[in-house]
Amino acid sequence: MKIGVIAIQGNVQEHVDSLICALSEAGVKAEVVTIKHAGIIPTCSALVIPGGESTTLCRLMEREGMVSEMQEAAARGVPIMGTCAGLVMLARKGIGDVQKTGQKLLGLMDIEVNRNAFGRQVDSFEIDIVIPAIGEEPFNAVFIRAPEIVSCGAGVEVLAKVGERVVAARQGNLLALAFHPELTGDMRLHRYFLDMVKGD
């Protein structure tokens, strides 16, 4: 099994390290690879789109020929986790800054998103949130220029909220997180993603 992390920008190494740790905890053997160009995505059993600057990330992925590969992988049922900017990229529709900039999205998940919904870099924060899918113990979520999911289609399962704002959701093989699980020592969300790869 091979798990690929899009490595054009963002928290790449943190995701690699978290995946390796989660794999070790789960006793699962897999290779974690970084992806900087086309040709690797079709060989992966799972994919991670990390945080970063979503407009730049999508533009660079398109330039490298990775957008169509990602869309084809999703259509084949390959599990994909998008965190922060990765969440924005998974969406079918965006409002606010996404509309203003004409940002292209992968259009994979039936969600509408608002980029930087929680404010700028100086407004970054950490908060304990309850995610029943990974257990009763709260998860310390790190929000950095975080987006929010403003609406979900019928096939989307809401996994977590901050107040009334949706910050984690799943639709089949797609997992979208507004925060950065790779910046904590808590591997439960990466373990949850691995369970998706194994078929729950």
Burial 180-192 (b: 16+ CB within 10 A, else e): bbbbbebbbbbbb
- How far, in Å, CA of 171 to CA of 155, rounded? 6
Query: Which residues are CB-contacts of 65 (< 8 A; sequence separation ≥ 6)?
Result: 37, 38
188 contacts 182 by C-beta, under 8 angstroms: no
pLDDT at 97: 60
User: CB within 8 A of 74, min separation 6: which ones?
Assistant: 80, 106, 108, 173, 174
Residue 182's identity, in one-letter code, is E
Residue 179 neighbours by CB distance under 10 Å: 29
- Give the H or E element holding residue 75: helix 67-75
- DSSP structure class, residue 47: E
C-alpha–C-alpha distance, residues 16 and 28, integer Å: 15
| Pairing state between β 148-152 and 109-114 | antiparallel
Query: What is the Cα–Cα distance from 151 to 183, expressed in whole angstroms?
Result: 26
Q: Residue with structure tokens 């091979």?
A: 2
pTM, entire model = 0.93
Calculate ∠ Cα 6-15-53, nearest 5°.
55
Q: CATH fold of 2-198, please? A: Rossmann fold (3.40.50)
pLDDT in tens, 103-137: 678 899 999 998 776 766 666 889 999 999 999 99
pLDDT band at 96 (very low <50, low <70, confident <90, very high): low
Confidence of residue 93 (pLDDT cuts 50, 70, 90): confident
For residue 200, the model assigns a pLDDT of: 52
Active centre residues (catalytic)? 84, 180, 182
User: Can you give the pLDDT at residue 121?
Assistant: 65
